[in-house]
Amino acid sequence: MAYSPKVIDHYEHPRNVGSLAKDDPAVGTGVVGAPECGDVMKLQIKVDEKTGKIVDAKFKTFGCGSAIASSSLATEWVKGKTIDQAMAIKNTEIVQELSLPPVKIHCSVLAEDAIKSAIADYQKKAAAKKTEEQAVNA
Amino acid sequence: MDDPFDVLGLEPRYDLDDRAMHRRYIEQGAANHPDRFTDPLDQADAAERTARLNEAYRVLKSPELRAEALMARWGGSAKGDDKSLPPELLMEVMETRESMEEAKAGGNQKKLDEIARWARDQREEALRGVAELLTQAGPMPQADRPPLLARCRVSLNVLRYFDRMIDEAKG
């Protein structure tokens, strides 16, 4: 099966590979996997508390070219977006952008799940921080 | 996919008697060999039956595929529908893959072999769990099986992650 030029570009020049500090309260980490193929994907976002915007994103994916390309594209797309805008990213948009064939659609689903899981982690941390502050102020 | 137990005419159970299964495969294969037929249409039918027998035998010989076949037969969830894993497993897989990447970059084959050994042990342990659950579920009435099948799904879901590590260690 031939990869589309955009998949090859992301695979050969992945954007935003790496890690952010997992324990930073401004960082949300999502780790997701596909039991069918054993791919694992980690996607992290860093959120500016004041503006609510995602200011940085990193990923690390162990998987096929399409999984790497999907997560690379996902980090590009979430940067500069608000949490709500990032939440609204659909796997079908990734499929379209990368021209993924039907057998690789699950890779885009994985990337969407990774974004949502990173956001959920950030929100959990933010909520915990808020409760803590309220407890201090009370 | 055809149910492999039906194709080979075997009682659906996890702990199959390997020799009895092999004997059934050979008997059925001989009875359905295309050379036994002269009419081209009969030959084509026989070839199709032979292909189904081969596939069923391949599935039942593999502990993992045999387990998946029983899951499908007993109404357990499919891999794509239920991605449940033991808690923290994904994080552990991620971290292990990262250390493998480091070991690879540093040419540390000893570390890679060590991880591959660990992954093989983990894989075997998961399969032992599958075997235990499905052997237990076999004689149960269908209504009592779901909780065991749900746990079996979790054990089956971990296998591919360890396979990837074992592959990766080989380089």
The two structure tokens encoding residue A71: 């997560």
Distance CA A37, CA B34 (A): 36
Question: Predicted ipTM?
Answer: 0.85
Q: What is the pLDDT of residue B171?
A: 67
Nearest residue, CB atoms, A31 vs list B91, B156, B162: B91
Burial call B146-162: b when 16+ CB within 10 Å, e when fewer? eebbebbbbbbbbbbbb
- pLDDT digit string, tens, across residues A28-59: 999 999 998 999 999 999 999 999 999 999 99
Q: Looking at the domain that runs over B4-61, which CATH code has it been given?
A: 1.10.287.110
Determine which one of A19, A22, A37, A133 is catalytic: A37
User: At how many degrees (to 10) do helices B63-73 and B40-61 cross?
Assistant: 100
Instruction: Kindly state the percentage of chain A with pLDDT values over 90.
Output: 80
How confident is residue A121, by pLDDT bands cut at 50, 70 and 90? very high
Q: Is the pLDDT of residue B5 over 70?
A: yes
Q: Is the pLDDT of residue B162 over 70?
A: yes
Nearest residue, CB atoms, A62 vs list B97, B157, B163: B97
